[in-house]
Amino acid sequence: MRPEFFLDRNLGRRVAEELRSRGWAVHRIGEVFPADGQHIPDEDWIAHGLRQSWVPLSKDGRIKTRDLEIRPVLDHAAVLFYLDDQQLRSIEMMQRLDTHLAAIYRAVEKGGPAAYAVRHDCIEPWIICGN
């Protein structure tokens, strides 16, 4: 079964639309929470997505180092992906994600807890340790 992804607001509508057009199963935060999820803390949208078995996807790599925000990933032994460059344009974000689709699927299958940076040439794991 192919994974479904839950996209943070910071990825934008265009990335979601482009990924869908390429066959990705994605849910945008704005489709689930009011006001495009602007007032939803990261730990809440991540936890909500994980309860649905959706894989969180963001461009905010700082999530992996913030205790409250990474806690749902630990609790669910899940994986989270983030783009390693917050300055990418929408088309570059989509291309980078789509280029690494097979590696992303393998990482989801492997399980976690882990956070992966989606870099231009690979995905790189950040092993999460916590209690």
pLDDT score, position 37: 65
**119: its two tokens:** 């870099």
Report pLDDT digits (tens) over 32-59. Answer: 876 766 778 888 999 999 999 999 999 8
Helix, strand, coil percentages in the chain from 3-state DSSP, rounded to 5: 50, 20, 30
pLDDT score, position 116: 94
pLDDT(131) > 60? no
| Greatest mean pLDDT range, 85-94, 100-109, 118-127 | 100-109
Cis status, amide bond into 113, omega within 30 of 0: yes
Strand partners, 89: none
| 13 membership: H or E segment, kind and range | helix 12-21
Report pLDDT digits (tens) over 12-30. Answer: 889 999 999 999 999 999 8
CA angle 35, 9, 61 (to 5 degrees): 145
The whole-angstrom separation of Cα 84 and Cα 30 is 23
